[in-house]
Structure formats: structure tokens, C-alpha cells
A = this chain, B = another copy of it.
């Protein structure tokens, strides 16, 4: 091994050391325990699949294809890829091996994902994703359940202050196909202008009738009122009422905003999407929304889910627990050691006399009779 590179890892990959590695595991465990308590059943798809399995179906998320770390499998001689996301794998399972299960089908998952490149905001290429998917409905009850579950999981992880940004991914497209017509070849341009909140651009593009959407963005209640005031007709008004119901179900201490034109990263969601933020945490702490899964026979099934990356929570200092480590001098009986572990201690057996408890990160030392706190 080259001594210069010894211990070096490729760009975007890292070792989690103590105590952060334990924090990551504890946070993942906590999230999965929360979703399990709501009846979500665990699936564990493989890290590697045929490339086309990862880009098809739900993977239609914009840019999913470009995220894949691919290689040719020496065994099958086909191109495989590392999963950049587990949501799509859960959808594949729901549409194939669990197609015969009753709906709604509630699935959960947690594990590493890999992408070919990090982003400017987050240079990591390997992350730990956890999430839950409810398959077979994207109605208000289903969306509310999943959003509240995401909030509960994040609050359990120690994030007391959360804000939720609600988006309406299919809203602009539906307007363009209905009450606010836009030529099919101009929809993308209008969307881009709305993304940039570019009022002047909208006017120049002859889409100034979309301007009110830019104003109808901000705290959810006010934004919904502004959207209702546009009198878009019964179908839109029913959808807005659904959104209002979801928003109203959130705990009072969660700040909720609505942006009807935001679509960044919501390429595969349908009528509602959400991103969750917390002070002190880089980027989003979770996201999700309603979407559809395509079955092998081509039919589409509604679903709603959320996922989060444990890494951002670890980096924000969450998941650490106060260690109760006790140093056991040489000669401590196995029975004493077992009793201490049963009482919740992590025992650290000294292999030499006069071992320094500090060097082993111990808070206590066993004197043969009791645990003595280390000064």
C-alpha cells in the first residue's frame, strides 16, 4: 500500500468515527422504530441492481439517471448500479413481489445510498437514507399520516423546531392544461420563470397571467387564501381544500409555508410535496409527497412517502448519548461485569494494571464493590 495514500478515502466518502458512528446508528434506529410503531413494515432491497431497474418506475425523478454509479458486473456481464435512493426500490417491491398484498401497503426502509457526485451543499456521495412509503392511496388521510409521521420521527430525533414547505408539483401543469392555457412547448419555459420568481420574464413570455402565483407564496394560510381568491374552478378548489386539510393537521408548533410553483427536486411528486427544515441543520432534514408507482403491466398506483438522510442530523450534533462507560480492573469477575452490563453500563476491561480510565473514555471505575466516578 502506498504510504502517502494510506488512510485516504476517495472524494465524497468518509469514515464515521466514534461517537458519530454510534449517533448515526441511533438516529436511524429511532426513525425506523417510529415508523414501525405506525405499522410500516421493513423491506431491505439490495445495494446494487440492474441499472434500468433504478432508472425506471419511480426513479423517474429528474436527474436520477445522472446520479448513478455504474459498473459492468463480471458475473452477469450487464450494467449494474449502486442505488442512489431506496424509495424507488420500495416501489418496485410493492409493484412486484408485494403486488398481491392488501392496500394501503405500508413499507419502511433504511440504509446506505450512493450517488456519483455530491452537491455543492453536500459533498458526500454516500448517505444513510431512511423512509416510509404508503402505497395504494394519495388522499388527504394518507398524505396527512405520512407527513405527521415524518414530523414525529424528526421530533423524536431531537429536532424540536421544524418548518414544513409545502409544494404543489403538478399545479402549474394543470393550470396550463386548463384555466390558464400555455402552449405545450412553452410550459417548461414558464415553469423555469416561475422557479426564478421572474415577473419580468413571465411578462416578456406572454405569461403574465401566472404572476399571481408568485405572490401566493409564503405562510400557508395566507398563500392558500390567495390561491382560493384566484377562483380557478371546482377541481382546483377541491385540491386546495385538500392541501388546507393537510396543513391544518400539522402540530401548531410547526411553521408551514406554501409555494405553489416550487418544483426543485419534486420531479416525480404529484399534487402535493413537502420539504422539512430545522434550524442548525444543513439543507432539508426530510422530504416527501404524493406520487405514483408504475406496475409491470403499466397500470399506475398512487402512493405517498417521505425520506430523510440521517447524516445531516449527525452533522448537526444529534443522536449522541451520554456514555456510561466503566473501567474494570484486571481480575474483575465475569459475574460482576455481567451485572454492570445488565444495569446499563458499558464495561471496558483493562488488560493491564493501572489503565487510565480517561484514555478509554470511561466516566467510572469499578473498585470491586461499586462504581466510582472519575474526577
- Flag A312-341 by CB within 8 Å of B: 1 or 0 each: 000000000000010000100000000001
Q: With a CB–CB cut-off of 8 A, which chain B residues contact A73?
A: 10, 69
Contact B76 A7 (CB under 8 A): no
Asked if A263 CB lies within 8 Å of chain B CBs, one says no
Asked if A297 CB lies within 8 Å of chain B CBs, one says yes
Asked if A349 CB lies within 8 Å of chain B CBs, one says yes
Asked if A239 CB lies within 8 Å of chain B CBs, one says no
Contact A15 B76 (CB under 8 A): no
Contact B93 A17 (CB under 8 A): yes
Asked if A172 CB lies within 8 Å of chain B CBs, one says no
Asked if A98 CB lies within 8 Å of chain B CBs, one says yes
Contact B48 A114 (CB under 8 A): yes
How many residues on the A side are at the interface (Cβ–Cβ under 8 A)?
A: 94
A-B complex: 5 closest residue pairs judged by Cβ atoms: A7-B96, A71-B71, A1-B56, A39-B348, A102-B359
Asked if A373 CB lies within 8 Å of chain B CBs, one says no
Binds B, one of A29-37, A187-195, A230-238, A269-277: A29-37
Give Cα distance in the complex from A8 to B80, angstroms: 12
Distance in Å from the Cβ of A320 to the closest Cβ of chain B?
A: 12
Contact B341 A38 (CB under 8 A): yes
Asked if A61 CB lies within 8 Å of chain B CBs, one says no
**Which listed residue (B39, B43, B117) contacts A349, Cβ 8 A?**
B39
Asked if A24 CB lies within 8 Å of chain B CBs, one says yes
Contact A18 B43 (CB under 8 A): yes
Copies of this chain present: 2
Q: With a CB–CB cut-off of 8 A, which chain B residues contact A348?
A: 38-39, 106
Q: With a CB–CB cut-off of 8 A, which chain B residues contact A29?
A: 29
Contact A52 B104 (CB under 8 A): no
Binds B, one of A135-143, A175-183, A207-215, A279-287: A135-143
Give Cα distance in the complex from A222 to B351, angstroms: 30
**Which listed residue (B39, B93, B139) contacts A346, Cβ 8 A?**
B39
For A92, the closest partner residue in chain B by CB is: B7
Query: Given A38-B347, A347-B37, A351-B139, is A76 in contact with B11 using a C-beta cutoff of 8 Å?
Result: yes
Contact B7 A95 (CB under 8 A): yes
Q: With a CB–CB cut-off of 8 A, which chain B residues contact A347?
A: 37-39
Scan residues 243-259 of chain A and give those whose CB is less than 8 A from a CB of chain B: none
Distance in Å from the Cβ of A363 to the closest Cβ of chain B?
A: 12
Contact B46 A14 (CB under 8 A): yes
Give Cα distance in the complex from A73 to B70, angstroms: 9
Asked if A242 CB lies within 8 Å of chain B CBs, one says no
